[in-house]
Amino acid sequence: MSTIFELISQFKAIADDPKKAMDDFKKETGKGAVGIMPVYCPEEIVHAAGYLPIGMWGAQGKQISKARTLLPPFACSIMQSVMELQLEGAYDELDAVIFSVPCDTLKCMSQKWKGSAPQIVFTHPQNRKHAQTAANVFCRAEYAHIKEELEDILGVKITKKALQNSIAIYNENRAACREFSDLVAANPGLIKLRDRHAVIKARWFMPKEKHTAMLKELNEAIKAADKAPFNGKKVVVSGITLEPYDVLDIFEENGFAIVWDDLAQEGRNFRQDVEYDEDPLMALAKAWNAFDGCSLATDADKPKGGMLIDALKKYDADAVIVCMMKFCDPEEFDYPILLLQFEEAGVKHIQVEIDQESTSFEQLRTRIQTFAEVL
Amino acid sequence: MDSININEASSKELLGYFQAKLDEEAWEAKKAGKPVCWSASVAPPEFCVAMDIALVYPETHAAGAGARKASMDLLEVADKKGYNIDICSYARTNLGYMELLKQEAMNGEKPELLKTTKAAYVPLPDIVITCNNICNTLLKWYENIAKELNIPCIIIDVPFNHSMPVARHCKEYIADQFRVAIKQLEEFTGRAFDYDKFTKVQEQTQRTVYWWNKIAAYAYRKPSPLNGFDLFNYMALIVCARSRDYGEITFHRFCDELEAKDKAGKYAFGDASTEKHRVTWEGIAVWTFLGATFKGLKAQGSVMTGSCYPGMWSLVYTPGDFESMAEAYTKVYINTCGSNRYEEFYKVVSNSKSDGMVMHLNRSCKLMGLLNNEGGEYVNKKMGIPFVSFDGDQTDPRVFSEAQYLNRVQALSEMMDAQA
């Protein structure tokens, strides 16, 4: 059995070099890759086509220059770096890209794609709770549109059986990710925060069955490991992403361990399974309907605060850190409601600003240090 | 409020009268224990009007507060509640104002700012209705209102049209939501929905929209009897009263006035020689500097003859046909793919015989900002006319710089001169 260190090195190599991961996949299978823009694309459809779905989450600390002429400064940093990468041709080896449009910035981004790969755009329904049946029917039609477009572009047939198989593979991966997150939470201090992030991030760049196999091995290694010494504080984190790595290092330096995440790049993708339905596209549509607690999935009940407070109790955590993606207005809208809910429940919390372009972290370090002292 | 002679009043008098009357009706409903609904500006009002539910429009309220220089104080209230400065300033103005109303309701006493603010005094809602045909921000904003006040939220989700024409499954989804909204209203009011009245309300809406569109068409005449900035003022009634006869009466009167003006040889700035240039304005008005933005153009002899913004209420459909209504509400140009959006923009620029375009890069509105250049370039390619962009915001006065604006519109004027 490989050691924890060896396995994590493998995950990190993949998380930090998506291009190589894609090239390796192409060599191995003779098939290509399809870019997946954030957020919540039913990737299973791409997987069922035999292609590699590959996440497009921008780049950490990337200097933005060309994109400045196409986006104003008040578009979020992920979109700034995605635009920069488009203009650099970084996505031109993809066979297609898929855009979802759950926020106004993404709607606009979907209409200014500068890459050479063919583009597929789809819309998630947002009246999910009151008009559930109609929303599911609409969502299924949008997912069918993705499927048909992919079949045309890639020249493949995506069968019902293949799609059902892919959903099962994805569910298995989700279960492995949940187990990993729980194992890390149960032995804080064993896995570094940047390593936790890399293990989860790697799932964006590799076939899920491979990620699952490696992750299961890692999970076994973690189970076999001794309890690590830990005198820090356990936290629940919420936001779109928790990058660059430097931010995680600052958390680490101040003794924080992440015991549960509510991040659009991480836990929000695997905290629930896709339930079985005879019609696999409808199964995926229903999963979107049942998906709760994300700022990009409309729900006037605003369940996110309650979910974070529940996680805090379940994992015996000390505080919530809200990692606010700068210029992400859907997340920003959720914050005042979270504030009310945290204060009512007596939850300790702090909000930190996340900017993928950041290269200077002194202000953040001071805030986190102060928060650690308060805790 | 003072009554006026509807048959003799000017359109401007009618505008002021009906605006005040709508607020008064909302208060009367509140006092009588009847429900008040806060509504997104391009959400369908037909359902609530058919159910005799009074409507209040937070975007119009916020715009009014901005125009009266009253938004800054309200933005600060929202700021204290944790609303980030990068959030839409209409939402922050409204959520700040709502906080004051909440405090009044809880303490039985008006907070000082509510006593002194120049923003119109409107009642708290008992229910809200939102629609994302002009942005998804309206989903988040109304989620928060409903959650904070613990009231029902009706959502009409009109999915972004990534291809045009509007897909069949899209229309069906929206039409299904109309049926759900009716059920929600029946449960909320405990009354059966009146379908006959609903059809009449739809017919009224179509008459109002007809006259609204007719006003905009006056600016297509050359020279233009209409000063396009007037559309920003009259917009209050196409937003707040399109399903009532208030809008129809006012717009009809305004059309009569414009017709008479045109016949008399009177135009936007005076005689025909005062119309030096014609421009299209893309984006929401800078309400906090409405006068400054208008005067900046006027100083260059530039009449605003085109704008896509007022056209968002060109909601033409067949009464009695849910899918036709669904299509009208979803095909608002900013809810459609780039190719359709730019073509719609081109039609406005071309119909209004514009010589240039002024693009408002609105800090509050990503959907009416992030594709401005693409729209400008599309039209430039087709018509060869120039465009400029300036930084602004609809109701946060801190973003707009008058010097930058004047500089840009002057540059535009020079470019238009060079092309003349």
Token code pair at residue B81: 């509640």
**Nearest chain B Cα distance for residue A214, angstroms:** 38
* Residue A243 φ then ψ, to 5°: -135, 165
Any domain includes B309: yes
Residue in chain A lying closest to B365 (CA): A104
Residue in chain B lying closest to A324 (CA): B84
Residue B133, classed as helix, strand or coil, is coil
Shared domain check, B380 and B243: yes
Residue whose C-alpha is closest to residue B94's, from B396, B372, B418, B388: B396
Any domain includes B3: no
Any domain includes B7: no
Do B62 and B152 meet the contact criterion of CB atoms below 8 Å apart?
A: no
Rounded CA Rg of chain B: 21
Query: What residues in B contact A327, CB-CB < 8 Å?
Result: 86
Any domain includes B27: yes
Partner-chain contact A300 B153, CB within 8 Å? yes
Could you tell me the CA-to-CA distances from A129 to A134, A327, A363, B153 in Å, in that order?
Answer: 10, 27, 41, 11
Please say which residue of B159, B177, B196 terminates a domain: B196
Residue A138 contacts B, CB cutoff 8 Å = yes
Do A287 and A296 meet the contact criterion of CB atoms below 8 Å apart?
A: no
**Nearest chain B Cα distance for residue A171, angstroms:** 28
List residues bridging with A349 in a β-sheet.
A320
Do A274 and A167 meet the contact criterion of CB atoms below 8 Å apart?
A: yes
A106 in the Ramachandran plot: left (φ > 0), alpha (ψ -120 to 50) or beta? alpha
Shared domain check, B254 and B186: no
Shared domain check, B331 and B219: yes
Q: Best residue in A329, A331, A342 to probe B by mutation, most B CBs within 10 Å?
A: A329
Query: What residues in B contact A300, CB-CB < 8 Å?
Result: 142-143, 146-147, 153, 155
Residue B169 contacts A, CB cutoff 8 Å = yes
Partner-chain contact A71 B370, CB within 8 Å? yes
Residue A358's pLDDT band, with cuts at 50, 70 and 90, is confident
Shared domain check, B211 and B148: no
Residue in chain A lying closest to B183 (CA): A130
Do A61 and A357 meet the contact criterion of CB atoms below 8 Å apart?
A: yes
Residue B160 contacts A, CB cutoff 8 Å = yes
Partner-chain contact B146 A127, CB within 8 Å? no
The whole-angstrom separation of Cα B319 and Cα B205 is 9
Which residues fall within 8 angstroms of residue A180, CB to CB, at 6 or more apart? A199, A200, A215, A218, A219, A222
Query: What residues in A contact B137, CB-CB < 8 Å?
Result: 104, 329, 333
A247 preceded by a cis bond (ω within 30 of 0) = no
Please say which residue of B173, B196, B219 terminates a domain: B196
Where residue B342 sits, what CATH number does that domain have?
Answer: 3.40.50.11900
Token code pair at residue A80: 């700034």
Residue A282 burial (CB count, 10 A): 16
Q: Best residue in A78, A111, A355 to probe B by mutation, most B CBs within 10 Å?
A: A111
pLDDT at position B1 is 66
Do B49 and B200 meet the contact criterion of CB atoms below 8 Å apart?
A: no
Residue B112 burial (CB count, 10 A): 9
The whole-angstrom separation of Cα B33 and Cα A299 is 28
pLDDT value at A1 more than 70: no
**Nearest chain B Cα distance for residue A103, angstroms:** 6
Strand duo B153-156 + B127-131: pairing: parallel
Token code pair at residue A248: 């995680």
The alpha carbon of residue A161 and the mean position of all alpha carbons in its chain are separated, in whole angstroms, by: 27
Residue B299, classed as helix, strand or coil, is coil
Please say which residue of B161, B196, B231 terminates a domain: B196
Residue A65 burial (CB count, 10 A): 10
Residue in chain A lying closest to B163 (CA): A121
Partner-chain contact A327 B144, CB within 8 Å? no
Enumerate residue ranges in chain B where pLDDT < 50.
none
Shared domain check, B151 and B100: yes
Residue B15, classed as helix, strand or coil, is helix
Shared domain check, B365 and B338: yes
Residue A125 contacts B, CB cutoff 8 Å = yes
Sheet of B153-156, strands arranged across? B54-56, B36-39, B127-131, B153-156
Residue B114 contacts A, CB cutoff 8 Å = no
How many domains, chain B? 2
Any domain includes B12: no
Termini Cα distance of chain B: 50
Any domain includes B11: no
CA torsion sign for A307, A308, A311, A313 is: negative
Shared domain check, B295 and B185: no
- Per residue in A309-329, pLDDT (tens digit) is 999 999 999 999 999 999 999
Could you tell me the CA-to-CA distances from A230 to A5, B147, B166 in Å, in that order?
Answer: 19, 39, 57
Average the pLDDT over A163-189 and give the result.
98
Residue B168, classed as helix, strand or coil, is helix
The whole-angstrom separation of Cα B362 and Cα B400 is 9
Query: What residues in B contact A337, CB-CB < 8 Å?
Result: 144, 147-148
Range of the domain at B247: 201-419
Query: What residues in B contact A332, CB-CB < 8 Å?
Result: 83-84, 86-87
Shared domain check, B283 and B349: yes
B165 preceded by a cis bond (ω within 30 of 0) = yes
- Per residue in B365-378, pLDDT (tens digit) is 999 999 999 999 99
Average the pLDDT over A256-280 and give the result.
97
Do A348 and A375 meet the contact criterion of CB atoms below 8 Å apart?
A: yes
The whole-angstrom separation of Cα A101 and Cα B139 is 14
Shared domain check, B250 and B138: no
Sheet of A349-354, strands arranged across? A256-263, A233-239, A319-325, A349-354
- Per residue in A96-117, pLDDT (tens digit) is 999 999 999 999 999 999 999 9
Residue whose C-alpha is closest to residue B218's, from B233, B230, B235, B205: B230
Query: What residues in A contact B143, CB-CB < 8 Å?
Result: 298-300, 302, 333
pLDDT at position B2 is 72
**Nearest chain B Cα distance for residue A222, angstroms:** 40
Partner-chain contact A300 B143, CB within 8 Å? yes
pLDDT at position B16 is 95
Out of B154, B173, B184, closest to residue A134 by CB: B173
Shared domain check, B206 and B191: no
- pTM given for the model: 0.96
pLDDT at position B3 is 81
* Residue A124 φ then ψ, to 5°: -80, 140
Residue A332 contacts B, CB cutoff 8 Å = yes
Any domain includes B281: yes
Shared domain check, B134 and B32: yes
Q: Best residue in A74, A83, A104, A328 to probe B by mutation, most B CBs within 10 Å?
A: A104
Query: Which residues 278-307 on chain A approach chain B with CB closer than 8 angstroms?
Result: 295, 298-302
Residue B347, classed as helix, strand or coil, is helix
Which residues fall within 8 angstroms of residue A113, CB to CB, at 6 or more apart? A86, A97, A99, A119
Average pLDDT, chain A: 96
Q: What is the ipTM of this complex?
A: 0.96
Residue A15 contacts B, CB cutoff 8 Å = no
Residue with tokens 């805790």: A375
Query: What residues in B contact A134, CB-CB < 8 Å?
Result: 172-173, 176-177, 180
Residue in chain A lying closest to B161 (CA): A123
Could you tell me the CA-to-CA distances from A163 to A46, A143, A159, A169, A276 in Å, in that order?
Answer: 9, 12, 6, 10, 12
Termini Cα distance of chain A: 39
Any domain includes B16: no
Shared domain check, B43 and B175: yes
Question: H-helix or E-strand containing B355?
Answer: none
In the 3-class helix/strand/coil scheme, how is chain A assigned residue by residue?
CCCHHHHHHHHHHHHHCHHHHHHHHHHHHCCCEEEECCCCCCCHHHHHCCCEEEECCCCCCCCCCHHHHCCCCCCCHHHHHHHHHHHHCCCCCCCEEEEECCCHHHHHHCCCCCCCCCEEEECCCCCCCCCHHHHHHHHHHHHHHHHHHHHHHHCCCCCHHHHHHHHHHHHHHHHHHHHHHHHHHHCCCCCCHHHHHHHHHHHHCCCHHHHHHHHHHHHHHHHHCCCCCCCCEEEEEEECCCCCHHHHHHHHHCCEEEEEEEECCCHHHCCCCCCCCCCHHHHHHHHHHHCCCCCCCCCCCCCHHHHHHHHHHHCCCCEEEEEEECCCHHHHHHHHHHHHHHHHHCCCEEEEEECCCCCCCHHHHHHHHHHHHHC
pLDDT at position B164 is 97
Strand duo B36-39 + A349-354: pairing: unpaired
Partner-chain contact B136 A135, CB within 8 Å? no
Query: Which residues 58-77 on chain B approach chain A with CB closer than 8 angstroms?
Result: none
Residue in chain B lying closest to A305 (CA): B147
**Nearest chain B Cα distance for residue A343, angstroms:** 12
Where residue B182 sits, what CATH number does that domain have?
Answer: 3.40.50.11890
